Amino acid sequence: MTEKEKMLAGELYKSWDEELTMERSRAKQLTYQLNQTKDTEDHYRKQLIQDLFGTIEGEMGLEPPFYCDYGYNIHVGDGFFANYNCVFLDVCEIRIGKRVLIGPNVQLYTATHPMDRETRASGLESGRPIIIGDDVWIGGSAVINPGVTIGENVVVGSGAVVTKDVPPNVFVAGNPAKQVRKVD
């Protein structure tokens, strides 16, 4: 397996691999250009996002600045919106459903590091995908950790740190995020 194939499969991989380094560089160039756009350059902004993201289904919006590792692992549904200063570490897939609203400073982390210190010291890392269902609202400054699946119609409170899967139709908040109540 190549290092990229290992990364996408969630196995330990060398992030300093030449192919991955070039792909991160491409994403940095695209996000730099995106983050320099003016509000009046909506068409150019949309083109940059299309070049960056893996798939976009329908209409979407994203307010710069925005940062990601690769971009091609990000897949968004119709009606997606992300506010200012979001960070999506997409070493594995980030699948976001329809009508998902993401507040400012939200961070989605698929990247993770080994718990074993010797393996961690070797520089190897891995990732686990994030899946977000339809009709989810993630409040500002929330963090979604590697491997988390968020069900449909979930509200994630501002500042929450989501470390475990979230069932549909609930409001979660806190650090670590816990279910507060059901939502309609």
* Phi–psi pair at 131, nearest 5 degrees: -125, 130
Q: What is the mean pLDDT of residues 150-174?
A: 98
Q: Is 75 in the active site?
A: no
Q: Look at residues 124, 159, 126, 125 and name the one whose alpha carbon lies nearest to residue 144.
A: 159
Helices (H) and strands (E) in the chain, counts: 4, 19
Best CATH choice for the domain 3-182 from the list 3.30.1370.10, 1.10.10.2160, 1.20.1440.230, 2.160.10.10: 2.160.10.10
Asked whether the beta carbons of 167 and 49 are under 8 A apart, the reply is no
The structural domains of the chain, with segments of one domain joined by +, span: 3-182
Asked whether the beta carbons of 51 and 74 are under 8 A apart, the reply is no
**Which tokens sit at 140?**
């500002």
Kindly name the residue from 4, 28, 113, 178 that is annotated as catalytic.
Answer: 113
Q: Look at residues 116, 117, 175, 166 and name the one whose alpha carbon lies nearest to residue 137.
A: 166
Helix 42-52 to helix 18-35 angle (10° resolution) is: 170
SS3 5: helix
Q: How many CA atoms lie within 13 A of 25 on its CB side?
A: 7
Task: Give per-residue pLDDT as tens, 109-158.
Answer: 999 999 999 999 999 999 999 999 999 999 999 999 999 999 999 999 99
Task: Give per-residue pLDDT as tens, 117-131.
Answer: 999 999 999 999 999
Asked whether the beta carbons of 125 and 111 are under 8 A apart, the reply is yes
pLDDT of residue 184: 85
